[in-house]
Amino acid sequence: MLNSIHIKNYALIEEVNLQFNNGFTVITGETGAGKSILLGALGLILGKRADISSIGNPDEKCVIEAHFDLTRYNLEPLFNSEDLDYEPQTIIRREILASGKSRAFVNDTPVTLNQLSALGMNLVDIHSQHQTMEVTDVDFQFQVLDAFAENGRNLSEYKNVYTSYRKKESELKKLIKQKADAQKEEEYKSFLLEELLAANLKPGEQEQLESAHDTLNNVEQITEGLAAAYQTLSREEVGVNEMLLTAKIRLSKLSGFSPKLQALSDRLEAVTIELDDISESINDLAADTEGDPTELARLESRLKLFFDLQKKHQVASVEELIAIRDTLDEEVQSLTNLDQNITKLEREIVQSKTELEKLAVIITGKRRNTIEPLTEKLQQILSNLGMPNARFEVSLSDSTSFLENGKDILSFLFTANKGMRAQELKKAASGGELSRIMLAIKSVLSDYTQLPTLIFDEIDTGVSGEIALKMGHIMKAMGNRMQLISITHLPQIAGQGAHHFKVFKEDKQQKTTTGIRVLDQDQRIAELAEMLGGKASSDAAFDHARQLLN
């Protein structure tokens, strides 16, 4: 419920403070007095985008603050989902700076316009004469039918399952496409993988084979070199080993004369031993080194396989080939995984369909049971609103697929005349008829659900006299169940309000401003008399005004 609104420096409003009550409130005023300005300010509180031109004095910021009582609404989950602190008495403030920047706060916490809009749509529902076309929208029609059928819990559960179902269907389509794309390359990738697997690649093998190949390919040169080296070291009398042995004997005879000579003798002894060992190693290696054409051919064949694969895959090492092999293995294996994931998703989709079908049957059943009492109530109200021959029908047929609101195709049908076939609202109802239908629907809904604060902005356009009076009676009755505010130019409706505001313009200090004030009983009589008979109201107009208030 809207408790109050404070507006400062907005358009022609310098500053006003309005206190609202529960029940039916009317707002009147001459055309152009600024009733739309009040709605504009309220729209900013509800998340509308700010316009710098709406600032009255450009040297000051515009501030709009509204207080709401949320105790009758279940809005704590919404606050939690928007990461806001819930307060039963909530304050929403909007500030617009001359620079064009805008700030919004909920209970002094900064919020985005999206957050404010999500909250606002649950606080105030504004209907103008241009918005009555909403009644022709199928989503709105589902809201009406489901509210009357008390389908809220079932529909919420259905929508949760439906969202999951659609997500899984989308995932399944992607996986099927991935599989189709993968299958196009699967044969070639499998061939490449088999080729690499058959090669039995091992890290470091190429370097080992290349070394062995170099040895076998140069065995003659190696054996000749080893033999020559061995002869140089071990030849009798003139070999290096013999000469070192002679030198070692001579130094050993001198080693006792000084430590330095002893050290030189020891070093020469070590060199002699090392060269003897080297000679033996050379001799052993020479004995083991021999040509092997068969092994050389095997090495050349193996290395050729490596080089061919590296050229094919445009890499330079066996390690890179191994990495490509592992990647191909994963890609080929992924096709098997795709099949498994597709099968799993298909099972889950079947399960979701089963759940959806079960819920859809319940939802459809409650809707069908609701159609007759709903249409009877609406036709009764429409008859009271000057359409005695009106026929309102609800067409509900089965859909072959699951839809966001269930498995039904819905349409509201209408005809205002006897003997005429009922057609879709947007084809059959005029603007004035749509206004009355919307009022009838809101009236019925107020009996079955907790509606937010409802504001009618001249929804009574196109009606007058007795019909206007009956519209006023309906609004008054709705005001007993909710907070209803009607901006009206009809005295018959204004007279039914429990509370009455007047919007007016005044000139002060060469400036036109818009003001709003609460009317007492005498002021209400004067206002209604003026609405009935103009500024020069007659006694009859005043008497009529008193009758409307009584």
Strand-strand pairing, 483-487 and 453-457: parallel
In a domain? residue 361: no
pLDDT for the residue 236: 66
In a domain? residue 411: no
In a domain? residue 92: yes
Task: Give me the amino acid identity at 163.
Answer: T
Please give the tally of structural domains in the chain.
Answer: 3
In a domain? residue 10: yes
The share of the chain scoring above pLDDT 70, in percent, equals 97
Residues 493 and 526 in one domain: no
Length of the chain: 550
Residues 550 and 494 in one domain: no
In a domain? residue 294: yes
pLDDT for the residue 495: 95
Residues 77 and 194 in one domain: no
Q: How far is residue 523's CA from residue 312's CA, in Å, rounded to a whole number? A: 97
Residues 488 and 544 in one domain: no
Model confidence at 333: pLDDT above 90 = no
Residues 13 and 41 in one domain: yes
C-alpha closest to that of 48 among 64, 60, 33:
64
Angle formed at CA 130 by CA 128 and CA 134, multiple of 5 degrees: 90
pLDDT for the residue 130: 64
Give the 3-state secondary structure of residue 486: strand
Q: How far is residue 104's CA from residue 175's CA, in Å, rounded to a whole number? A: 44
**Domain-ending residue, one of 290, 307, 335:** 335
Residues 510 and 528 in one domain: no
Residues 510 and 526 in one domain: no
User: What pairs with residue 28 in β-bridges?
Assistant: 502
C-alpha closest to that of 39 among 516, 505, 545:
516
Contact 496, 524 (CB under 8 A): no
pLDDT for the residue 131: 64
CATH number at residue 50: 3.40.50.300
In a domain? residue 413: no
pLDDT for the residue 250: 83
pLDDT tens sequence across 137-153:
899 999 999 999 999 99
Task: Give me the amino acid identity at 453.
Answer: T
Residues 213 and 235 in one domain: yes
Q: How far is residue 413's CA from residue 416's CA, in Å, rounded to a whole number? A: 10
Model confidence at 369: pLDDT above 70 = yes
In a domain? residue 16: yes
pLDDT tens sequence across 164-180:
999 999 999 999 888 88
Instruction: For CA atoms 122, 128, 134, 136, give the dihedral sign.
Output: positive
What are the tokens at 372? 């007759």
Residues 93 and 204 in one domain: no
Q: What is the DSSP letter of 55?
A: B
pLDDT tens sequence across 272-283:
888 888 888 887
Q: How far is residue 486's CA from residue 26's CA, in Å, rounded to a whole number? A: 5
Dihedral over alpha carbons 30, 36, 37, 38 (to 10 degrees): 90
Instruction: For CA atoms 82, 88, 91, 92, give the dihedral sign.
Output: positive
Q: At what angle do helices 205-217 and 293-313 cross, to 10 degrees?
A: 140
Residues 229 and 185 in one domain: yes
**Domain-ending residue, one of 312, 335, 358:** 335
Model confidence at 287: pLDDT above 90 = no
Model confidence at 288: pLDDT above 70 = no
In a domain? residue 206: yes
pLDDT for the residue 238: 60
Q: How far is residue 77's CA from residue 343's CA, in Å, rounded to a whole number? A: 37
Distance of CA 125 to the CA centre of its chain: 25
Residues 14 and 108 in one domain: yes
Residues 276 and 311 in one domain: yes
Residue with tokens 């109050």: 4
Residue with tokens 């704590």: 76
Phi/psi of residue 379, each to 5°? -65, -35
Q: How far is residue 55's CA from residue 280's CA, in Å, rounded to a whole number? A: 105
Instruction: For CA atoms 529, 532, 534, 540, give the dihedral sign.
Output: negative
pLDDT for the residue 129: 66
Contact 84, 109 (CB under 8 A): yes
Q: How many CA atoms lie within 13 A of 425 on its CB side?
A: 24
Range of the domain at 526: 521-550
pLDDT for the residue 536: 65
pLDDT tens sequence across 454-481:
999 888 777 778 888 999 999 999 999 9
Q: How far is residue 18's CA from residue 502's CA, in Å, rounded to a whole number? A: 11
pLDDT for the residue 224: 75
Instruction: For CA atoms 234, 237, 243, 245, give the dihedral sign.
Output: positive
Contact 468, 488 (CB under 8 A): no
